[in-house]
Amino acid sequence: MTGARSRRAFACALLLFTIAAPAWALAHGDAHSAPKPAAAGASVAAAGYDVSLLSDPSPLAAGREGRVIVKIVTAGTETPVAGGTVRIGVGADGHVHDLAAAPEVTWAGSYTAPFTPTGRGLHHVRVEVDALDGRRFDPPLAFEFRVDVGGAPGLGWPAWTAIALSTLIGAGFVYGTVVRARTTRVGAMDLLAIPAVRTLLTSRRLQTGVQIAMLALTVAIVVIAFVDVQDGGRNLATKLTWTLWWPGIIFTFVLAGRVWCVACPFGAMNEWTARARGAAGRLPRIFRNVWWATAAFVVLTWADEQLGVVRSPIVTAWIVIAVAAAAIGIGLFYERRSFCRHLCPIGGLIGIYSMTAPVELRVRDHAVCGSHAEKSCYRGSASNDGCPMFEFPATLDRNNYCTLCGDCVRGCEHDNLALRLRAFGKDLWATSRRTLDESYLAVALVGLTMFVTAGMLSAWPDWISAAARWLPGFVRQSLKPVTYLSLVETGLLVATALIAGPVLVLGASLIARRLAGAAAPGTIRTFTVFGYMFVPVGLAMHLAHNLAHLLLEGGGLLPVVQRAVTRFTPWSLGEPDWHVLPIAPEPVVAFLQVAIVVGFFALSLVVGHRLALRTYPDARAAGRALVPYAALSLLFTVAGIVLLSQPMGARHGM
């Protein structure tokens, strides 16, 4: 077998490992959603046990059937205590009149009582434990909790207001398409003229130091994930990864493009390995697109929904190990950051979202680049290694693959590069490079973000159960419920995100061709161009969804850090207080979510209008072609507002 064939075979095998290994590891995780901490719940210690109150759904809603769940674990070991005799009572007036036996169901150490609130507000929960671990208690162990009950599910006035506002914006924009959308340039000042900014962008020591620090943190996360308690809500590895890093990193893409990639430990491992190995091969052409990264991201999304990634520290660790192995393996054979450019599971998503960032690194004068034979900004020189992402600054007109590493700035002998602020989302309409794989990803992300948001809703298990009733009887009789429910969820993921969304945009492309007349480009080309119009819609859902996790669950990171420091270091940050309050009240979070969704819908219309003006020969044809896309963008936006208006559970349960 030739060297080239060996490298291609290795790349194929390594890519399959990257996609399959996390899913294999996840097969040992929890399937489907677990109960969530009660809205005003707590954890109480007594007689060598820790007792926590949970609810399903969370938060509980007036008029909606639910249950309160008492979770009992051995103090210090987090081992569930099964086989106990527990009674639970709930009262709305501050007093509990009757306690009923709470059977242990589904999860070991979890004792459940049905509860259908009749009104909103704080409710009193009393728990009495008569026996545990063969020990009888007389009098019984008694615990008092409070749980908050919210309003009945449905759309409130903020959601209806947002829908009406989005509809008015859409109708007004379509009506006014004869007037060209104007977006003023934020500023033309070169930020590299500021010494501090230039130092941050070009300092090799600083960047290497950040990369080493992030690598050390990643190693610590893996170790803690393996050795600490396997409870996603209390293990620092899962909390840092899924409550802080993943929700927060999305905002960096919007504000500063791919700047995270400079600090990314996986990118550093890929690049360091390639340099140390002296790898000079290019990744086979079949891998040089976004399809592979899209497939890997879909697999991880599926695994999250079906196998409980965020609740399993050990699975989180295996995902980190798999991605690190892939990055190092690719670096052994292929130059620069080949893994980051083409195969990183979130690389395609980062690139698409980075097109909205209001900052760009571009050449000042293209003529200077044309007359410079060495091209050291790309090829490298004594002062730099060349662009690690295979981008030639002279042709750079979008942020998709620029990590702002500053290597080209260090290598430019003519100081011909500038870092400027620009119009928000400019790349989406101004770039000359558009590809079908990126456009498909942009559309698929709308469905994926909505599917993930729907999966967090309290009503989601009921929806899946209702959908499962459509399965043939022999399927439900021959398979366990957890299996056929997983099949239903998987089918919905594929149908809504990977098929329905792209098909709807393809249908809009057919309509746009008819409306625009003979001058319209082909259907696939139209899909490719206007697919970028839906980047803001998917991004809005992603931001809104993760904003809720950051603001409503972020406070839970403090006691987890306190616990980890006490256990793994000789120091202490105090006794963990598990009475965690949201960083921001739910009404504030809901307002911010609506503002994001509506604002990005308006950006979607601006992008669509500018794309239409660049695609069609006259303003009338452009306006007509935009109509089906604007209607579809409005439809997606309204669907997002409806989903975000429903009660949402926390990431970490049992």
Confirm if 258 and 399 have CB atoms less than 8 A apart: yes
- Per-domain boundaries in the chain: 3-30+255-354, 37-150, 359-422, 435-644
Q: DSSP 3-state assignment of 344?
A: coil
Enclosing H/E stretch for 110: strand 110-115
Structure tokens at 492: 């919905």
Question: What pLDDT was estimated at residue 70?
Answer: 87
pLDDT in tens, 169-180: 666 655 555 444
Could you tell me whether strands 110-115 and 359-363 are parallel, antiparallel, or unpaired per DSSP bridges? unpaired
Q: What is the tens place of the pLDDT at every residue in 433-463?
A: 999 999 999 999 999 999 999 988 877 888 8
Residue bearing tokens 């829908």? 163
Asked if 264 and 214 touch (Cβ cutoff 8 Å), the reply is: yes
Q: Is the pLDDT of residue 339 over 90?
A: yes
Q: Is 486 helix (H, G, I), strand (E, B) or coil?
A: helix
When pLDDT is averaged across residues 338-354 and rounded to a whole number, the result is: 95
Single out the residue of 442, 623, 624 nearest to residue 540, CA to CA.
442
CA angle 598, 602, 603 (to 5 degrees): 115
CB 243 within 8 A of CB 309: no
Mean pLDDT for 620-625 is: 91
**Residue-level pLDDT at 262:** 93
| Banded pLDDT at 237 (limits 50, 70, 90) | very high
pLDDT value of residue 647:
73
Residue-wise DSSP of 402-455? -----HHHHH-TT--EEEEE--TTTHHHH-S---HHHHHHHHHHHHHHHHHHHH
Q: Please tell me the predicted confidence (pLDDT) of residue 178.
A: 43
Most confident of 29-43, 118-132, 316-330: 316-330
Retrieve residue 82's tokens.
């099964």
Helix, coil or strand: residue 129:
strand
User: Residue range 485-508: average pLDDT?
Assistant: 93
The pLDDT > 90 percentage for the chain reads 46
- Per the CB < 8 A criterion, the answer to whether 427 and 399 are in contact is yes
pLDDT band, residue 187 (cuts 50/70/90): very low
How much of the chain is helix, strand and coil, in % rounded to 5? 55, 15, 30
Confidence of residue 2 (pLDDT cuts 50, 70, 90): low
Q: What's residue 605's pLDDT?
A: 95
3-state secondary structure of 145: strand
In whole numbers, what is the pLDDT of the chain averaged over residues? 84
Per the listing, tokens 């992300």 go with 445
**Interval 356-360 mean pLDDT:** 94
- Of residues 258 and 147, the one with the higher pLDDT is 258
Residue 415 has pLDDT above 80, yes or no: yes
* Residue 65 binned pLDDT confidence (cut-offs 50, 70, 90): confident
pTM score, whole prediction: 0.77
Taking only the tens place, the pLDDT of each residue in 534-579 is: 999 999 999 999 999 888 888 889 999 999 999 999 998 888 887 7
Which pLDDT score, from 0 to 100, does residue 252 have? 92
pLDDT digits (tens, 9 = 90+) for 258-302: 999 999 999 999 999 999 999 889 999 999 999 999 999 999 888
Inter-CA distances, 626 with 51, 225, 505, 538, Å = 57, 49, 12, 19
Phi and psi for 489 in degrees, rounded to 5?
Answer: -65, -40
434 close to 526: Cβ distance less than 8 angstroms: no
Q: Would you state the structure tokens that stand for residue 639, as one six-digit string?
A: 């669907």
Residue 493's φ and ψ, nearest 5 degrees, are -60, -50
Position 163 scores a pLDDT of 67
pLDDT digits (tens, 9 = 90+) for 39-48: 444 577 788 8
Predicted confidence at residue 38, as pLDDT, reads 47
Is the distance from CB of 552 to CB of 455 less than 8 angstroms?
no
Structural contact between residues 456 and 649, judged by C-beta atoms closer than 8 angstroms: yes
Kind and range of the H or E run holding 124: strand 121-132
Give strand pairing partners of 48: none
Q: Report which residue type is found at 292.
A: W
Domain at 37-150, CATH homologous superfamily: Macroglobulin (MG2) domain (2.60.40.1930)
pLDDT in tens, 369-408: 888 778 888 888 887 888 999 999 999 999 999 999 999 9
Mean pLDDT in residue range 7-19: 53
152 secondary structure, DSSP code: P
The answer on pLDDT for 117 being more than 80 is yes
Contacts of 105 (CB under 8 A, 6+ apart): 111, 112
Q: How confident is the model at residue 154 (pLDDT cuts 50, 70, 90)?
A: low
Q: 168 or 52: whose pLDDT is higher?
A: 52
Tokens of 465: 């159960």
Q: Which residues of 615-642 are buried (b: 16+ CB within 10 A; e: fewer)?
A: bbeeeebbbbbbbbbbebbbebbbbbbb
The mean per-residue pLDDT over the stretch 101-117 comes to: 81
Residue of higher predicted confidence among 179 and 307: 307
Report whether 231 contacts 110 (CB < 8 A).
no
More confident residue, 492 or 581: 492
